[in-house]
Chains A and B, each alone.
Chain A
Amino acid sequence: MNGIQLDPRIKILLLFVANVLLFLDSWAVVTYVYMAVLAMVLLFSGCYKSIFVFGIYGAILLGIDYWIFPTAPKALSILFSISVNYSLKMFPCLMSGVLLITTTSFHEIVLAMRKCHLPQKIIITLSVTIRYFPAIFEEIRHIHNAMKLRNIPLSGKFECFVVPFMMAATTTAEELSAAAITRGIENPAKKTSMVQLCFGYIDYFVLLVEAGFIFAAFVL
């Protein structure tokens, strides 16, 4: 990634503010302005592709909401209106989430959490959870392929899926903990890191903007 690099803590804060705006259900204009700010940040961080994708996706959703729903059959709009509306509302969260994931390494996120003095237990559990998501889908694909190969009838599908899936999860847990313990996960001493985090001018500037949004969300 080229372009400016924000501090990971600031990126987490961007995500947090996006959620606060959603949580407080604040005035729509504030949310739209926030989306514009996020788009700017994405642009300056060099994520041109995600801006493009978000632009198209957002335009499609708005189009569906304004033109298709009023004319569509009743049942269809009942089924889909909630998902379209949710997706639109979640746009700021998605954008800041993408910013966080694409421009930060996982190590930096863990470091940021550590700098924010989160308890070690929560950091370990949370990082394992987030890292395990891609593995889940991989596991599912493998099991699916194996079932196809053996021609498992529909009645046996559930059992043949659940058992290896749970087995795989346990094995992963065993292996991961063996690796982590060797690397000193249970060492109570303060951990050091090669990467050092510190705020630059831009970080303070974004922080100020964030504070402005929080203020706006509560007042308006």
Chain B
Amino acid sequence: MSEQTKSLKLTGKDLINIGIFSAIYFILSFIGMFLGSIPILWILMPGVIAILAGIPFMFLCAKVQKPGVPLLMGLITGLLYYITGQFTMVILITFVIGCVLSEAVRWSTKYESFRGNTVAFILFSYGMAGSPLPMWLFKESFFAQISEQGLSDTFVETLNNVATTSMLFVLLLSPIVGGLIGAFIAKMIFKKHFVKAGMI
């Protein structure tokens, strides 16, 4: 990249890149969400999605070294989740927090460093932690609500057994572990292929 193109404003090309990789990210996180219909995997969901989506996110971060990438990506995936009716208030809050923090980390590491992007990715992955979080935040009303919605008693019971304090730590740790694994896979693939091909 020459100095001239180093402006920090997003160009049309950057926006198209973000759009395409957001589509990939959305599909991958949707797979993670679908796996989440098994109770145990629901708690690990942020981590599972992080493992799956490490490559596209890190690739996009390496390609578009400008502010606004996690924010726009979060906005697009959030909007698509909203349209498909998967959104709850808690997810909205965690999504916003995750995206803003991720943006801040990228800003402070000058958008270039792989480590900075990894941390940003981990924070971004926390956005999905809002999906199972109501189980702990408002335990009573949550379980009352889902059994009222007509989910079978056995399902609710299984969830109730899973919602312990130690599992909360598992939930909060899973984006870190998943993010590190995802970033590690991304790094290996980058090193082996994309750097040589001059794509990054």
Contacts and interface: CB of A to CB of B under 8 A. Distances in A.
Most B CB atoms within 10 A — which of A124, A125, A176, A181? A125
B82 interface: yes
Contacts of A22: 85
A166 B56 contact: yes
Given A124-B15, A126-B19, A129-B76, A69 B152 contact: yes
A90 B84 contact: yes
Nearest to A23: B87
A98 to B, nearest CB: 12
Interface residues of B, number: 50
Contact of B22 (A74, A97, A129, A180): A129
Nearest to A140: B27
Main secondary structure of the interface of B (DSSP, over half): helix
Main secondary structure of the interface of A (DSSP, over half): helix
Interface residues of A, number: 49
Contacts of B151: 81-82, 85
Interface string B113-149: 0000000000000000000000000000000010001
Contacts of A167: 197, 199
A173 B26 contact: no
Interface of A: 15, 18-19, 22-23, 25, 65, 69, 74, 77-79, 81-83, 85-86, 89-90, 93, 97, 121-122, 124-130, 132-133, 136, 159, 162-163, 166-167, 169-170, 172-174, 176-177, 180-181, 185-186
